Chains A and B, each alone.
Chain A
Amino acid sequence: MADQNCLISNDWICGEYVRTRGQELTDATLQHVGITLASVAIGLVIAFPLALLARRRQGVAGPVLGMTTILYTVPSLAMFSLLLPVFGVSQAVVVTGLVLYSLTILVRNIMAGLASVPEDAREAARGMGYGPLRLLLGVELPLALPALMAGLRITTVSTVSLTTVGAIIGYGGLGNLIYEGMHSFFKAQVLTASVLCVALAVVADLLLLGVQRVLTPWARKRRRA
């Protein structure tokens, strides 16, 4: 009975809300995760060749870094609004905007990671007859992983948070619930969605940290020694 009342009295914390709107919350969370995953994955796929290109040619590095920084400065609401005429009201607007934001940090961190590979390691690999591709995938990439993963974690966490702004066009995952709750002054909905959103960011961060531990076993051994 007390639980029933919390919906009527518009409490911040309401178990009845979570029970009755479970499906709505799940759908919003899934949309949120989907948008985040797509954005970060596409961001990574674009950032990697960009970073390689910028590393090879000094002339490319400046414009690439400058351009991504400028994109990063554009506020999210403006970014989504500017992409609206290009894609119409669709998930593509939000994903594209988030991809553009992710490039700034991903490109920088991949470049920093590759630059931190010791020249000795490269020399040794070349001496062992490694070609450029095998050198990149077998030696440079693993050694660049810590910086790359640091960038990936920052990007993922901020992407989870920025996805909420997509609510302006109805594709904001949990942001949609916050937007709706704002108009109807529905406190439980706003708080629950906000908490879920932060939880999502924390879980994603921890998952990536776990992936990094698994991918770089040598770092763990060194720490123990």
Chain B
Amino acid sequence: MGVIGEAWNWLATGSHWSGGDGVWHRLGQHLFLTFVCLAISCAVALPVAVLLGHIGKGGAIAVNISNAGRAVPTFAVLVLLLLSPLGSHGQWPTIIALVLFAIPPLLTNAYVGVSEADREVVEAARGMGMTGGQLIRRVELPLAFPLIMTGVRTAAVQVVATATLAALPGGGGLGRIITAGFRLTDTPQVVAGAVLVAALALLVEGVFVVLGLALDPMRRKTGRRSAAFRRPPADQAPKAPALTS
């Protein structure tokens, strides 16, 4: 119990929150990294996944990328990038690693969502004379929305976790509070940092759960019916399963 009290004291000490090594600054770095990398990954992965899902090709690639993302250790990639020529370019190794690990969940979920959008509905829309673009915008994207959002949420949580690990090779973010605690053998600081990181990850997850529900176009129109489309891929469960299911 002693350590928990000391960790609480660490968090309650005002001086730990201010300055270059303070919580606020590290939190700012963490959120900035998360936001930028999530935006880059979405911009890269979502159009590709939606297009592949629309033409129904490349499913094997989507699944394999997701498997590879699981097998390759984040920590190893962070260190490899640091030791590569990129290592001398400030934040770039971290940003690249974060983007790399955010892409698989985005790609897989969006691909599955679009390619498994109810075929009868898609056929009906085609029968009504919709063009490919209209089909994507008005039918497939709304139907795939819950899974796309699952992908974005998983990616966001993944980015938060990877950004934490980036502190090991000296990147910024809340992970630095943990690694600094280890260096000082200051267990209360380690625990306090870990509590902050865990809280941030849960908060990000929660925000995206709420966003997913609030923005779901099908849910707004037909109430709970959209739940029928919320099937996760059978053989390879998404990395962080939905909180709501």
Residues in chain A within 8 A of chain B (CB atoms):
65-66, 69-70, 72-79, 81-82, 84-85, 104-105, 108-109, 150-151, 154, 157-158, 160-162, 164-165, 167-169, 175, 178-179, 181-182, 185, 187, 190-191, 193-194, 197-198, 201-202, 205
Closest 3 CB pairs of A and B: A75-B161, A81-B194, A194-B76
Are B168 and A179 in contact, with the CB atoms below 8 A? Answer: yes
Kindly list chain A residues whose C-beta atoms are within 8 Å of the C-beta of B198: 73-75, 78-79, 82
Could you tell me the distance between the alpha carbons of A79 and B167 in the complex, rounded to whole angstroms? 15
User: Would you list which residues of chain B between 174 and 218 have a CB under 8 Å from chain A?
Assistant: 175, 178-179, 181-182, 187, 190-191, 193-195, 197-198, 201-202, 205
> Can you report 25 residue pairs joining A to B where beta carbons are below 8 Å apart?
A69-B243, A70-B202, A73-B202, A75-B161, A77-B167, A77-B197, A78-B198, A81-B178, A81-B181, A81-B193, A82-B195, A82-B198, A105-B241, A160-B71, A161-B70, A164-B73, A164-B75, A164-B76, A167-B75, A168-B179, A181-B79, A181-B83, A198-B76, A201-B70, A205-B71
Instruction: Name the residue on A nearest B158 (C-beta).
Output: A75
Query: Interface residues of B toward A: which range?
Result: 35 or more
Given contacts A77-B178, A190-B79, A197-B76, whether A82 and B194 have CB atoms under 8 Å apart is yes
Could you tell me the distance between the alpha carbons of A178 and B178 in the complex, rounded to whole angstroms? 19
Kindly list chain B residues whose C-beta atoms are within 8 Å of the C-beta of A169: 182
Distance between B76 CB and nearest chain A CB, rounded to angstroms: 4
Our pick among A77, A179, A205 for the contact of B164 (Cβ within 8 Å) is A77
Distance between A32 CB and nearest chain B CB, rounded to angstroms: 10
Kindly list chain A residues whose C-beta atoms are within 8 Å of the C-beta of B243: 66, 69
Could you tell me the distance between the alpha carbons of A65 and B243 in the complex, rounded to whole angstroms? 8
Our pick among A65, A82, A151, A182 for the contact of B83 (Cβ within 8 Å) is A182
Kindly list chain A residues whose C-beta atoms are within 8 Å of the C-beta of B18: none
Are B73 and A78 in contact, with the CB atoms below 8 A? Answer: no
Could you tell me the distance between the alpha carbons of A23 and B241 in the complex, rounded to whole angstroms? 40
Could you tell me the distance between the alpha carbons of A167 and B160 in the complex, rounded to whole angstroms? 19
Are A73 and B157 in contact, with the CB atoms below 8 A? Answer: yes
Question: Of B118-126, B138-146, B232-240, which stretch is located at the interface?
Answer: B232-240
Could you tell me the distance between the alpha carbons of A191 and B191 in the complex, rounded to whole angstroms? 31
Could you tell me the distance between the alpha carbons of A47 and B244 in the complex, rounded to whole angstroms? 20
Kindly list chain A residues whose C-beta atoms are within 8 Å of the C-beta of B241: 65, 69, 72, 104-105, 108
Kindly list chain A residues whose C-beta atoms are within 8 Å of the C-beta of B44: none
B110 within 8 A of A: no
Are A185 and B80 in contact, with the CB atoms below 8 A? Answer: no
Could you tell me the distance between the alpha carbons of A78 and B182 in the complex, rounded to whole angstroms? 12
Are B82 and A182 in contact, with the CB atoms below 8 A? Answer: yes
Q: Looking at A75, A194, A202, which has the most chain B CB atoms within 10 Å of its CB?
A: A75
Distance between B135 CB and nearest chain A CB, rounded to angstroms: 32
B15 within 8 A of A: no
B91 within 8 A of A: no
Instruction: Name the residue on B nearest A166 (C-beta).
Output: B75
Kindly list chain B residues whose C-beta atoms are within 8 Å of the C-beta of A82: 191, 194-195, 198
B61 within 8 A of A: no
Kindly list chain A residues whose C-beta atoms are within 8 Å of the C-beta of B242: 69
Distance between B159 CB and nearest chain A CB, rounded to angstroms: 10
Kindly list chain A residues whose C-beta atoms are within 8 Å of the C-beta of B9: none
Instruction: Name the residue on B nearest A190 (C-beta).
Output: B79
Kindly list chain B residues whose C-beta atoms are within 8 Å of the C-beta of A175: 73, 75-76
Instruction: Name the residue on A nearest B203 (C-beta).
Output: A73
